[in-house]
Amino acid sequence: MTSDAYVKIYAVVRGIPRGRVMTYGAVARRAGLPGRARQVGYALHALPSKAEDVPWQRVVNAEGRISLADWEGGAGLQRSILEAEGVVFDRRGRIDLACYEWRPSGD
């Protein structure tokens, strides 16, 4: 899966600073894959949990929520990491994208 698209996706995700998050759609767009948000999720899913190079935990859906349905505690893990980075979840487990969404400047 050494697709160029994946490389771009990882590059974008890697560029998300600590304490900030990005939506799948935004990452896809930034990676040159407009409308292929699903592909982004697929790419991240293929990542090993050890991939510290790619902060997949900083990627959430357009609602500012964690997508993982009920994978091996993945959702809980992601939330824990984000909270540890300073990201605040509201009572519904949602992130305030207006404040935490990372918008790369110069684009």
Q: Which of 8, 16, 21, 24 binds DNA (CB under 7 A)?
A: 24
CA 11 to chain centroid? 12
Give the interface segment with DNA, choosing from 1-9, 82-90, 97-105 (CB under 7 A): 1-9
Alpha-carbon gap, residue 86 to 43, rounded angstroms: 25
Minimum CB–partner distance for residue 40 and DNA (Å): 6
Does the protein bind DNA through residue 23 (CB under 7 A)?
Answer: yes
Kindly list the residues in this chain that would bind DNA in the complex (CB under 7 A). Answer: 1, 3, 5, 23-25, 35-42, 44-45, 47, 56, 61-63, 67-69, 71, 74, 78, 92
